Chains A and B, each alone.
Chain A
Amino acid sequence: GEDVEQSLFLSVREGDSSVINCTYTDSSSTYLYWYKQEPGAGLQLLTYIFSNMDMKQDQRLTVLLNKKDKHLSLRIADTQTGDSAIYFCAESIRSSSNTGKLIFGQGTTLQVKP
């Protein structure tokens, strides 16, 4: 069945780069997404990548997609304490009624130490 896997925890020092990894199983995914959840808040859509792209860059964020290995990563350059949050990756799949839906990973907690 569909599954999205992430490591649960990552700790980095302020100013370093963070790399959050994700693997997924459905090869027919059209879009893959990264969401950020700050403490006590809902999720915020950070960025997404179309499945025929290898890379997408948006300011400090770089998304890399290896479709062959079904591996997605989010790199945050110059990580700041405000980046401390839970990061979720999600893949889009077709549901049984042919509408789309997302499958979310478990979330990676990013801890940024001053």
Chain B
Amino acid sequence: DVKVTQSSRYLVKRTGEKVFLECVQDMDHENMFWYRQDPGLGLRLIYFSYDVKMKEKGDIPEGYSVSREKKERFSLILESASTNQTSMYLCASSRPDRIAPQHFGDGTRLSIL
């Protein structure tokens, strides 16, 4: 069964902390995505990676960075967490010929206090 696994379902951090969200996929997909989901706003793309060490900014990259050192792993980094980054974060992957994410993780609900 194909899988996208996010390391934490729930995470609570403090303002100013550096936060790492990890995502691993087992489908050998080239494309990986990080989205943020907020009520009434749908999903918004933070960053996208189309290959190892390659990344592209999405619609809301400010305050975030990403790392893709291995094909199966895509990390989202909050450099200095702020309360407005409290949200649900979703990781996804797809084959290189598909711009649409095909498989999603179950999400990480992040609270910044």
Q: Is the CB of B104 within 8 A of A43?
A: yes
Interface size class of A (residues with CB under 8 A): 20 to 34
The answer on a CB contact under 8 Å between B100 and A102 is yes
Secondary structure class of chain B's binding surface, majority of residues: strand
A97-114 toward B: CB 8 Å interface, digit per residue (1/0)? 101111011110000000
Contact partners of A53 in chain B: CB under 8 A: none
Majority-rule SS of A interface residues: strand
Determine which of B4, B90, B99 lies in contact with A101 in the assembled complex, contact meaning CB atoms within 8 Å: B99
Partner of A106, one of B4, B41, B99, B107: B41
In the assembled complex, the Cα of A45 lies from the Cα of B2 at a distance in Å of 14
CB–CB B40/A106 < 8 A? yes
Q: Which residues in B have their C-beta under 8 angstroms from that of A44?
A: 104
A82 to B104, CA, bound (A): 19
Determine whether the beta carbon of B42 is less than 8 Å from that of A101: no
Q: How far is the CB of B32 from chain A (nearest CB, A)?
A: 13
Contacting pair A42 B104 (CB below 8 A): yes
7 A–B contacts from the bound complex (CB under 8 Å) = A8-B40, A33-B100, A41-B107, A45-B103, A99-B48, A102-B45, A105-B42
Residues of B bordering A, CB below 8 Å: 4, 40-45, 48, 50, 56, 58, 90, 92, 99-107
